Amino acid sequence: MSNEPASVDWRKSTRSSGGANNCVEVGFATSAVLIRDTKDRDSGTLAVSPDVWHSFLSTLKHT
């Protein structure tokens, strides 16, 4: 698992309701956006820069 800060406020995707088995959580740290699998939190965390995260969201909104 990555060295994620203890004070990360994790949020489950709003698209993860209804008992779906493909949930992700996003946490916002000081210099990174952290992404992890809700059902397997101990398997690891993906960290990306805020710029990469915003680019990802922008791409999703335009598809």
pLDDT band at 1 (very low <50, low <70, confident <90, very high): very low
pLDDT at 54: 95
CA–CA gap between residue 21 and residue 19 (Å, rounded)? 6
pLDDT at 19: 63
CA–CA gap between residue 35 and residue 49 (Å, rounded)? 11
Dump pLDDT digits (tens) for 7-58: 788 898 776 666 666 788 999 988 899 999 888 888 999 999 999 999 999 9
* Residue extents of the structural domains in the chain: 10-61
pLDDT at 6: 63
